[in-house]
């Protein structure tokens, strides 16, 4: 009995060591698909990726329960980065689902190693429309939401079905007035079945952002292709070119019923799928020093929104004795496979002028959740920061005060008689010269102030006229970049604003619309089509209704002759 008790701990130790050793040296095998969801009778590509060579060859038989394996291949890649070698192994399978529903891609055993679980949504969808029946080449277009809100992202999907080979093809782009359209990701190719026949499908997605409410139409797409004529006898296949026949197909038009923003929403309107707001500091302590800059970075991420729709993050509401200097914002936009992702980053340099504690106000960005159909708020809470004086500042001021007294005392003790005898004379002389110096100083300061006051209106008028001249020249040249710079200069001097959206809010409706249109053109990368005559007319009309804005041209008519 004693010997048996002694063996039990040894067995347990071996079991635990074996378990943790197997877990420690297990190879991670990930699973990915080229599309998700897919339609029934469409092929999908499943890729198994291992970070190192697994224990054994994979056993894909568990997949055959819900999938038909069409073909499979294996590939290996090696990379050397910073003298470190890394090798990855991939198994690529082309499969077709046997049924519709939420299917599970089971874990595949690679000997003792195993892959991760995954899922695939298979929709029971067929190509609609009798016009496509038995056609060798046709287009299908769909949208994920036919009743979006204004500025909400709509996914427009194009599918080209073909069962013939084509040598060359050209396809038109979706066209829609008062909308922003961006292509998403790369085209995808896969196999499918329609009415018992096999087709090769090329799929392309676009993100559409309607900019006005009401009924709008996405024009049909047109494909022109050179179809290769099959089963043609050629005398010399090497020198003879393939014979083709030109074929043109047209898709259906898409109608969108665009809704205005809900009546309950006031102020900022930012429809998106997801919104994240965050801040970054050089360190977590947020301990500042008086007179030294400290950079605060605020970043706004929005999925399903354009960068032109992101609001400003910095507000001029800092506490007293805390100076803020915002930098130019960083704007980025990325077209991912399923959505547009926009980013706005602002860096603000904060400089405290006094020691103490400061409370930065909270930042709140309201946004419309397009998936939940409700308003939400992205928020950065209030943050307290502490500023301390520069070390040694007080120590340097104290000795300067203390050394003045002994010096005066020594001088008085060394000649007490002379000090008492001449003290009245020196007192009146000192008082006279000090008074004369003060009168002279007051005279020159008052003269300089009068000169500056007389010059300030002149400088302001000259700047305003120069800005107007620059804006007019930009509009005549149809130069949107130059027009934007002129408007920003005008807005900073007139409204203390440094963004086109904020400046537009201070203007009349005509000028506001033209500034917003210019802003949309700048972010849409279509600057060549911009015409500046409408902006200049609206600017002139807005200026004529503003007495403050019309003063410069009436006060100095001869400075600038355009």
Instruction: Please give the structure tokens belonging to residue 451.
Output: 């000169």
Q: How far is residue 458's CA from residue 460's CA, in Å, rounded to a whole number?
A: 5
Domains of the chain, earliest start first? 2-123 (2.60.40), 130-258 (2.60.40), 271-388 (2.60.40), 452-555 (no CATH)
pLDDT tens digit string along 514-544? Answer: 888 887 777 655 555 788 888 988 898 886 5
Of the chain, the end-to-end C-alpha distance in Å amounts to 112
Tell me the mean pLDDT per 10 residues along the chain, length 562.
48 46 66 87 87 88 92 83 76 90 92 89 64 74 95 96 88 90 93 88 95 93 85 53 78 94 90 95 82 92 94 90 92 92 94 92 95 94 89 42 34 39 58 69 60 52 81 88 88 83 84 82 66 89 59 38 32
Beta carbons within 10 angstroms of residue 495's beta carbon: 13
pLDDT score of 65 = 92
pLDDT score of 559 = 32
pLDDT score of 514 = 87
pLDDT score of 445 = 64
pLDDT score of 392 = 52
pLDDT tens digit string along 39-93? Answer: 877 788 999 999 888 888 999 999 999 998 988 899 888 776 666 677 789 999 9
Question: In the chain, how many H helices and how many E strands?
Answer: 9, 29
The reply to whether omega before 37 is within 30° of 0 (cis) is yes
pLDDT score of 310 = 95
Instruction: Please give the structure tokens belonging to residue 457.
Output: 């209106």
Distances (CA, A) of 148 to 217, 259, 561: 13, 6, 50
Instruction: Please give the structure tokens belonging to residue 72.
Output: 């499979």
For the stretch 344-368, what's the b/e string if a residue is b when 16 or more beta carbons lie within 10 angstroms of its beta carbon?
bbbbbebbbeeeeebebeebebbbb
pLDDT score of 241 = 61
Instruction: Please give the structure tokens belonging to residue 337.
Output: 């496979």
Q: How far is residue 303's CA from residue 340's CA, in Å, rounded to a whole number?
A: 6
- The phi, psi pair for 432, rounded to 5°, reads -65, -50
Q: How far is residue 111's CA from residue 90's CA, in Å, rounded to a whole number?
A: 16
Q: What is the DSSP letter of 361?
A: P
Q: How far is residue 389's CA from residue 49's CA, in Å, rounded to a whole number?
A: 56
Ranges of beta strands (E only) in 154-280 are 154-162, 166-171, 179-194, 197-210, 214-218, 222-228, 244-250, 254-258, 271-272, 274-280
Beta-carbon contacts of residue 69 (< 8 Å; ≥ 6 apart) = 60, 63, 93, 94, 95
pLDDT score of 403 = 33
């Amino acid at each position: 009995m004693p010997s048996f008790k002694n063996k039990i701990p040894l067995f347990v130790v071996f079991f635990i060591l074996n378990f943790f050793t197997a877990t420690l040296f297990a190879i991670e095998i990930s699973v990915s698909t080229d599309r998700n969801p897919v339609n029934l009778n469409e092929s999908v590509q499943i890729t198994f990726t291992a970070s190192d060579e697994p224990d054994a060859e994979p056993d894909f038989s568990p997949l055959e329960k819900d999938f038909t394996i069409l073909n499979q291949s294996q590939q290996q890649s090696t990379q050397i980065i910073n003298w470190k070698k890394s090798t990855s192994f991939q198994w690529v399978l082309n499969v077709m689902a046997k049924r519709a529903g939420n299917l599970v891609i089971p874990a595949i055993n690679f000997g003792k190693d195993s892959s991760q679980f995954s899922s695939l949504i298979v929709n029971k969808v067929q190509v609609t429309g009798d016009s496509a029946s038995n056609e060798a080449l046709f287009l299908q277009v769909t949208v994920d939401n036919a009743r979006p809100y204004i500025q909400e992202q709509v996914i427009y999907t194009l599918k080209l079905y073909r069962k013939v080979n084509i040598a060359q093809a050209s396809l038109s782009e979706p066209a829609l007035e008062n909308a922003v359209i961006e292509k998403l990701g790369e085209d995808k190719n896969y196999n499918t079945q329609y009415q018992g026949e096999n087709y090769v499908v090329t799929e392309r997605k676009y993100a559409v952002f309607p900019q006005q409410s009401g009924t709008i139409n996405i024009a049909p797409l047109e494909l022109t292709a050179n179809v290769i004529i099959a089963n043609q006898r050629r005398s010399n296949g090497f020198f003879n070119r393939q014979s083709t026949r030109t074929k043109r197909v047209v898709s259906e038009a898409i109608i969108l019923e665009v809704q205005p923003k809900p009546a309950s929403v006031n102020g900022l309107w930012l429809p998106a799928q997801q919104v994240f707001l965050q801040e970054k500091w050089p360190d977590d302590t947020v301990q500042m020093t008086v007179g030294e800059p400290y950079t605060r970075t605020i970043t706004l991420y929005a999925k399903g929104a354009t960068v032109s729709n992101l609001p400003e993050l910095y507000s001029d509401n800092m506490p007293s004795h805390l100076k803020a200097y915002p930098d130019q914002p960083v704007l980025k936009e990325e077209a991912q496979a399923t959505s547009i992702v926009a980013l706005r980053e602002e860096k603000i340099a904060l400089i405290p002028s006094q020691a103490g504690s400061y409370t930065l106000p909270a930042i709140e960005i309201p946004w419309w959740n397009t998936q939940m159909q409700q308003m939400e708020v992205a928020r950065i809470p209030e943050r307290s920061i502490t500023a301390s004086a520069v070390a040694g500042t007080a120590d340097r001021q104290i000795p300067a005060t203390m050394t003045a007294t002994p010096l005066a005392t020594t001088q008085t003790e060394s000649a007490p008689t002379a000090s008492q005898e001449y003290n009245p004379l020196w007192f009146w002389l000192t008082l006279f010269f000090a008074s004369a110096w003060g009168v002279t100083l007051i005279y020159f300061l008052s003269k300089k102030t009068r000169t500056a006051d007389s010059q300030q209106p002149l400088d302001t008028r000259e700047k305003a006229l120069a800005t107007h001249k620059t804006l007019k020249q930009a509009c005549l040249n149809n130069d949107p970049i130059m027009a934007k710079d002129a408007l920003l200069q005008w807005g900073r001097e007139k409204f203390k604003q440094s963004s086109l959206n904020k400046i537009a809010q201070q203007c009349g409706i005509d000028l506001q619309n033209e500034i917003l249109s210019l802003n949309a053109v700048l972010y849409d990368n279509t600057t060549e089509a911009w015409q500046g005559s409408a902006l200049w007319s609206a600017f002139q009309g807005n200026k004529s209704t503003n007495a403050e804005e019309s003063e410069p041209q009436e006060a100095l008519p001869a400075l600038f002759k355009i």
